[in-house]
Amino acid sequence: MKKIQIKEEKEKRESRNKLIIGLILVALMILSTAGYSFLSGEKSENAEKKVKYAGVEFIMGENGLWDFKVQGSQFSTQYNPEETEDIPAPVFLNINDYINKPLFFAGNDTTARQEIARNLQGSVLRMQEACISGYKEFSSCGEELPVKNCSQHNIIITLESDSIEIKQEENCVFIFAPYAEQTRAADSFIFKILNIGNF
């Protein structure tokens, strides 16, 4: 009689333990599925972040850049046009003025220059450093660099300064900006030459 009771108690304990383990496993499966769908949903929300501006659709990519197409060409900027509206870019050049022509850089090697180079590399013939004739601050930059001028060559001059200013003199575009605003200023210039918005 004692053996039967002990056996029954043992079977009850085993079935209770199996039930508890089963419930724990089911709870883990539900929580892991919910966690996975939550995290996947969060990633897809970032990937699906979109802004439409002046007829151009900007989509936030997984790399954290705004991807968009203009005239069949792909561009990627750190900012979208809504984030650069407060930066005037009185530039009268457009992307066609750069296509299949050399692009020269002068001034400081800034994040503005890197942003422009990344976006125009597929459009221009080549990119390189240059000295600028007619500007004493840029004319004595070393014998190894070619000397170019604003009337004949496309030159982008990037400089760190206390305030943001973009201006054009002939084919030279000057981008002055504090370090933290360099890329945003460059994106304003990019949107201007791509004719996106009223910069």
pLDDT tens digits, residue range 137-154? 665 566 788 899 999 999
Angle, alpha carbons 50-53-59 (nearest 5°):
25
Handedness of CA 129, 133, 139, 145 (dihedral sign): positive
The residue whose two tokens read 């054009």 is 168
C-alpha distances (whole Å) from 147 to each of 142, 143, 160 are 9, 9, 22
pLDDT tens digits, residue range 82-112? 999 999 999 999 999 999 999 999 988 889 9
Residues β-bridged to residue 177? 160
Residues 81, 129: Cα–Cα separation, whole Å: 28
Q: With cut-offs at 50, 70 and 90, classify the pLDDT of residue 3.
A: low
Query: Which whole number is the average pLDDT over 51-79?
Result: 94
Q: What are 110's two structure tokens?
A: 């800034």
Residue type, 98: Y
Q: What is the pTM of this model?
A: 0.73
Model pLDDT, residue 108: 84
Lowest mean pLDDT among 30-34, 36-40, 117-121, 160-164: 36-40
Model pLDDT, residue 9: 76
| DSSP 8-state code for residue 146 | P
pLDDT tens digits, residue range 165-174? 999 999 999 9
Residue 3 CA from chain centroid, whole number: 75
